[in-house]
Each structure stands twice: as C-alpha cells, then as structure tokens.
C-alpha cells in the first residue's frame, strides 16, 4: 500500500549577521527586527492558506527556533496549530564553521587566497566537511521519514493523499522544518536524489541553491509500508518568497 505525506522546509529569518555578511555557523544569535517581520509575514500567509501541520521540527539555534515560534504564534493560527510542539534537533544546525565563525566573508576570502585555495571551496580550520553535513541531513530525514511512516501505516490511521501544498486535507500528515541555508541545501540534495524525483516547481538546479531567509519549499513524499526509502519525491513549491511581497526593508 502506498501513501504520502507533505514536507515543508523553511530557512530562518534574517539576522544582523546575515545582513552584514558575517559567518554565523553555530553562533547563537537572534533574528533582527526585519527577520522577525519576515517570520510574521510567513505566519500570516500560512494562516490565510489554512496550512495544517502534524509535526514541527527546528534547529536548536536561536534564529531558527525564534522563526518557528514567531510563525506558530501568528494570530489566527490557534485552531490550525493548537497543541503543536516544536521539536529541537541538533542535526538541523548550520555548518560548524570552526575558526571562521564571526568573521566576514571578505575575511575568509582573503584567508583562502593566502593559502592558494578558491574562496568558494575554502573551509577554515575546525569547520565541518561536506560529508559530515550530508550525514546529519540524512540522519534527520531518516528519523522524520520513519516517524511519519509509522503514523501513516499504523492501524486505523487516515490515508494521506497526493494533495498539493496549497490545500492539504485536515488529516494529511505535514511536517514543517525550520533550519539553516547550508543544512537545507543538503536536505534538498538528498530529496532530489530520490528515485524518481519529480520537480513540478522549477528547474532542479535552481532548487539546490541556498534558499533566501524564510523561503519555503514543499514536497510530497510518497512511501510504501515496510520500505525505508521514499518511492517518489515531488517538489510542489520551491524557495517560495511570495509572503514577503508587501514587506519593505526599513
């Protein structure tokens, strides 16, 4: 028997460090006032769309957790999201940038040049390697997929259909995940490597870029009982920023 669930990935709102081009990594910094407004705008649109979620996950770093809390505290979301808990997961953290944390991108570029390394591939001492990031993304998705599959296929559960993200039925399992640009890129790559991958939203290469702050991407994950890997992943919304159309930077 095949069933499906929805998965939405959201990058945290803007921080002052984002605005200043500072590498944050595991730095525990809050949203800027503008980042809070971005999260509020996202929450208002989700309420307007009557989006319902069965599970909420977040990086434990303040900027991601604050984004999740701001969204879920949106006026009008009480009935939609009543009783939802935010589950912190350390695997959703941004890359640990080692000695590069707190430095500007310009500083890191100069470090790279001094060592004869291209700036776009340079990792400062102590930084996580791509493989470590990939393993964290894979571990999180495996846990999430197992959790939702267990809920889908347990006796008496409601069947989740292949609805689009704009209007899932009330009984559709839908997990929303608040994380960071680097980790989301690895999750997107993981999802796009699922076989077969169907991207209805836009070109796959564009999907795999770092998402802007509070951008959301939504997928339909088709699964079968007893199988650990998805049967099909369909992207129905990629890096959507429409909630910010009326927001102007002060």
129 CB-near residues (< 8 Å, 6+ apart): 123
pLDDT at 164: 40
First to last CA, the chain: 52
The residue written with tokens 């608040």 in the block is 178
Average pLDDT, consecutive stretches of 10 residues, N- to C-terminus, the chain (250 residues)? 93 98 98 98 97 97 98 95 96 98 97 95 96 97 95 67 42 92 94 65 66 95 89 90 94
pLDDT at 226: 83
CB neighbour class for 82 (10 Å; exposed up to 12, middle 13-18, buried from 19):
exposed
pLDDT at 166: 40
| DSSP per-residue letters across 27-41 | ---PPPHHHHHHHHH
pLDDT at 37: 98
pLDDT at 99: 97
* 56 close to 84: Cβ distance less than 8 angstroms: yes
- For the chain, how big is the Rg over CA atoms in Å? 18
pLDDT at 163: 39
pLDDT at 242: 95
Which regions of the chain does DSSP assign to beta strands (E)?
2-11, 55-58, 86-88, 174-179, 197-199, 216-224, 232-240
pLDDT at 158: 53
pLDDT at 155: 55
pLDDT at 211: 93
pLDDT at 53: 96
195 CB-near residues (< 8 Å, 6+ apart): none
pLDDT at 204: 54
Point out the residues that are catalytic.
12, 94
């Amino acid at each position: 028997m095949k069933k499906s669930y929805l998965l939405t990935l959201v990058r945290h709102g803007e921080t002052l460090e984002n605005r200043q081009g500072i590498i944050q990594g595991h730095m525990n910094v809050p949203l800027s006032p503008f980042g809070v407004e971005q999260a509020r705008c996202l929450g208002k649109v989700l309420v307007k769309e009557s989006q319902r979620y069965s599970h909420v996950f977040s990086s434990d770093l303040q900027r991601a957790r604050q984004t999740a809390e701001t969204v879920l505290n949106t006026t009008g979301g009480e009935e939609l999201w009543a009783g939802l808990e935010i589950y912190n997961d350390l695997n959703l953290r941004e890359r640990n940038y080692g000695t590069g944390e707190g430095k500007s991108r310009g500083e890191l570029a100069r470090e790279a040049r001094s060592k004869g390394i291209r700036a776009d591939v340079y990792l400062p001492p102590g930084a996580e390697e791509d493989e470590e990031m990939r393993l964290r993304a894979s571990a999180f998705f495996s846990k999430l997929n197992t959790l939702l599959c267990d809920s889908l296929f347990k006796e008496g559960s409601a069947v989740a259909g292949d609805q689009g993200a704009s209007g899932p039925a009330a009984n559709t399992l839908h997990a929303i995940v608040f994380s960071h640009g680097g980790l989301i890129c690895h999750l997107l790559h993981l999802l796009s490597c699922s076989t077969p991958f169907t991207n209805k939203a836009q070109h796959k290469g564009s999907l795999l870029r770092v998402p802007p702050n509070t951008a959301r991407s939504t997928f339909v994950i088709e699964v079968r009982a007893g199988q650990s890997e998805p049967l099909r992943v369909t992207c129905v919304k990629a890096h959507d920023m429409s909630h910010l159309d009326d927001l102007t930077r002060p």
